[in-house]
Amino acid sequence: MSKATLKFIRLSPTKARLIAREVQGMNAELALASLEFMPNKAAGVISKVIASAVANGDYEPEEVSIISCRVDKGPVLRRFRPRARGSASKILKPTSHIMVEVGTVVESKKETPKKVEKKETPKAEKKTATKKAAKSVDLNDLKLLSGVGPAMEKKLHAEGITSINQIAQMSTEELTDLDAKVGVKGKIEDTWQNEAKELIKNNEKES
């Protein structure tokens, strides 16, 4: 690693930092080639400091990268310009201190990827009442069927349906007739009967 410093250069720190940010971390050879085609005054000055830092360490430009390119504010030169009625206006001429540090590229250690625990996700997005039931359930509770609330349970009781076993054992004609009376648009045959049969199977396994 080697350094080079240029002090009291007649250059605005604000303008110089724009170029310094561009070459920060670049390969020295690439940085020198890029600065050569930049029209800014700061580009030519920083290019010379980089070349000096490379030479100070007896490196070749392609071997090193720019670790740090810092521009600090130097003293401000004050000049005056004559104005009307014997007055004078102030002219400020800023200066900068440029410091460049170069070094060989060190390969960063590859971080070992952290093991991510896989969360078990259910295959189906909608969990039916049968999956929720881990233990034996009350087959007289019609609310275990999806979409059956207190109001729908009252309707089914009015039609003489008081248990899940009844829905599981109904024929297609009975299901169609009950569907027309309750008005759930085919849900009894498509969903409720399948869920009822699953609940009964799970209940038998648990018992």
pLDDT tens over the chain, length 207 residues: 899 999 999 999 999 999 999 999 999 999 999 999 999 999 999 999 999 999 999 999 999 999 999 999 999 999 999 999 999 999 999 999 999 999 986 533 344 455 566 665 555 554 554 444 445 666 667 777 776 777 777 777 777 777 777 777 777 777 777 777 776 666 666 677 777 777 777 777 665
CB atoms within 10 A of CB 165: 16
- Which pLDDT value is given to residue 116? 60
Q: What is the pTM of this model?
A: 0.50
Q: Would you state the structure tokens that stand for residue 118, as one six-digit string?
A: 């896989």
CATH number of the domain encompassing residue 178:
1.10.150
**Structural domain tally of the chain?**
2
- Which pLDDT value is given to residue 199? 76
Do residues 96 and 173 share a domain?
no
Question: Closest Cα to residue 77, out of 88, 92, 89?
Answer: 92
- Which pLDDT value is given to residue 185? 63
Distance between CA atoms of 100 and 35, rounded to whole angstroms? 14
- Which pLDDT value is given to residue 194? 76
Do residues 68 and 138 share a domain?
no
DSSP secondary structure code for residue 32 in this structure = H
- Which pLDDT value is given to residue 137? 66
Do residues 92 and 142 share a domain?
no
- Average pLDDT value for the chain: 80
Residue 109 lies in a domain: no
CB 62, CB 100: distance < 8 Å: no
Do residues 100 and 9 share a domain?
yes
Residue 124 lies in a domain: no
Q: Which residues pair with 162 in a beta bridge?
A: none
- Which pLDDT value is given to residue 132? 46
Question: Closest Cα to residue 16, out of 94, 91, 76?
Answer: 94
Range of the domain at 40: 2-104
Do residues 95 and 11 share a domain?
yes
CB 38, CB 19: distance < 8 Å: yes
